[in-house]
């Protein structure tokens, strides 16, 4: 299996499905939904590109030249596409959930305590990630955590009180695509589309999937979901804000 074939089998069908099942919301809201996800996709692309190039340049993960169609820097074209495709899959899935009729996604009230507790958890995770960089076998895991946790902390500083109210939506939005991509990743690794270096990994496996890969998909999808919801609220996506307002009134 080549990396391009991987996309045709696993990621592009999921992206098309997410696009097809989107509800027929009014045009202005559809534009705001696209803008929200597009904004997060652009940020994800810019933030992930240097990090992923560092991983490949240092052989933390690598690929066979016969499995990709070309590279920019150290990273295959298909990997750059993955940054964007994953973001749109998870972002569109989040909007599909928002528009489920009769589902109460919101808790009764905002919590400033939860906001700062969440921020503290992710700052502590950042410190743990930096500490893991001191060991060879925890290098990959440390790079994932130290790269993702500061952004998660920033999201909670910006809107953790509201994310806490939406925690049921957040959990429902980021867990299913993470599980799906973990399965797809395990199949790709088994078929040697890409290889995770044993030297810089813990060796802890979930089946054939290195635990670092599972952590990667869960934290990146959490970043996408939280970022999409915060962006959508800022852009005043009407369905989300209607739910938000009703919940505030009820609280």
Q: How far apart are CA 72 and CA 53, in angstroms?
A: 9
Measured from the Cβ of residue 226, the count of other Cβ atoms closer than 10 Å reads: 26
Could you tell me the pTM of the whole model?
Answer: 0.91
Number of domains in the chain: 1
- Provide the pLDDT confidence category of residue 184 given band limits of 50, 70 and 90: very high
pLDDT value for 251: 39
Question: Residue 201 in contact with residue 137, Cβ under 8 Å?
Answer: yes
Least confident residue range of 83-97, 109-123, 131-145, 234-248: 234-248
Q: How far apart are CA 229 and CA 49, in angstroms?
A: 23
Question: Residue 120 in contact with residue 156, Cβ under 8 Å?
Answer: no
Q: Is residue 15 part of a domain?
A: no
Domain residue limits at 81: 3-7+35-250
Q: Is residue 183 part of a domain?
A: yes
Instruction: Reply yes or no on whether the pLDDT at 133 is more than 70.
Output: yes
Q: Is residue 25 part of a domain?
A: no
Q: Summarize pLDDT for 10-35 with one digit per residue, the tens.
A: 999 999 999 998 877 655 667 777 78
Instruction: Reply yes or no on whether the pLDDT at 245 is more than 60.
Output: no
100-126 burial string, b = 16+ CB within 10 Å, else e? Answer: eeeeebbbeebbeebbeebbeebbebb
pLDDT value for 247: 45
- List of residues 6+ apart from 159 with CB closer than 8 A: 115, 226, 230, 233
pLDDT value for 233: 73
Side-chain-side CA neighbours of 244 within 13 Å: the count stands at 17
Instruction: Reply yes or no on whether the pLDDT at 84 is more than 70.
Output: yes
Q: Is residue 123 part of a domain?
A: yes
Q: How far apart are CA 168 and CA 1, in angstroms?
A: 37
pLDDT value for 249: 39
Instruction: Reply yes or no on whether the pLDDT at 250 is more than 60.
Output: no
- Provide the pLDDT confidence category of residue 89 given band limits of 50, 70 and 90: very high
3-class DSSP assignment, residue 193: coil
- Provide the pLDDT confidence category of residue 98 given band limits of 50, 70 and 90: confident
Least confident residue range of 26-40, 68-82, 85-99: 26-40
Q: Give the DSSP H or E segment for 195.
A: strand 195-196
Q: How far apart are CA 179 and CA 233, in angstroms?
A: 26
The pair of three-digit structure tokens given for residue 99, joined into one six-digit string: 């528009």
Q: Is residue 203 part of a domain?
A: yes
Q: What percent of the chain has pLDDT over 90?
A: 71
3-class DSSP assignment, residue 191: coil
pLDDT value for 232: 78
pLDDT value for 118: 95
Q: Is residue 26 part of a domain?
A: no
Q: Is residue 163 part of a domain?
A: yes
Task: Give the distance, in angstroms, between the CA of residue 68 and the centroid of all CA atoms in the same chain.
Answer: 23
pLDDT value for 248: 44
Least confident residue range of 31-45, 142-156, 157-171: 31-45
Provide Rg for the chain, Cα atoms.
Answer: 19
Q: Is residue 79 part of a domain?
A: yes
Q: Summarize pLDDT for 186-244 with one digit per residue, the tens.
A: 999 999 999 999 999 999 999 999 999 999 999 999 999 999 988 877 765 555 665 55
In the predicted model, what is the mean pLDDT of residues 124-150?
98
φ, ψ for residue 208 (rounded to 5)?
-100, 5
The pair of three-digit structure tokens given for residue 25, joined into one six-digit string: 């919301």
């Amino acid at each position: 299996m080549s990396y391009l074939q991987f996309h045709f089998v696993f990621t592009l069908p999921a992206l098309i499905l997410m696009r097809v099942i989107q509800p027929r919301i009014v045009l202005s809201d559809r534009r705001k939904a696209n803008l929200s996800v597009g904004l997060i996709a652009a940020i994800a692309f810019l933030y992930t590109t240097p990090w992923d190039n560092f991983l490949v340049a240092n052989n933390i993960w690598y690929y066979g030249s016969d499995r990709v169609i070309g590279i920019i820097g150290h990273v295959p074209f298909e990997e750059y596409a993955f940054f964007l495709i994953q973001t749109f899959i998870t972002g569109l899935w989040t909007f599909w959930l928002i528009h489920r009729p009769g589902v109460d996604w919101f808790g009764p009230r905002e919590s400033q305590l939860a906001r700062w507790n969440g921020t503290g958890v992710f700052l502590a995770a950042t410190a743990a990630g930096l500490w893991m960089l001191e060991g060879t076998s925890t290098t990959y895991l440390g790079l994932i955590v130290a790269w993702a946790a500061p952004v998660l902390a920033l999201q909670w500083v910006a809107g953790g009180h509201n994310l806490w109210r939406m925690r049921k939506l957040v959990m429902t939005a980021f867990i299913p695509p993470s599980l799906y991509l973990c399965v797809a990743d395990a199949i790709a690794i088994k078929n040697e589309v890409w290889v995770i270096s044993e030297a810089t990994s813990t060796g802890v496996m979930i089946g054939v999937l290195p635990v670092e890969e599972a952590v990667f998909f869960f934290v990146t999808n959490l970043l996408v979901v939280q970022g999409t919801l915060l962006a959508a609220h800022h852009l005043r996506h009407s369905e989300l804000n209607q739910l938000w307002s009703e919940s505030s009134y009820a609280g």
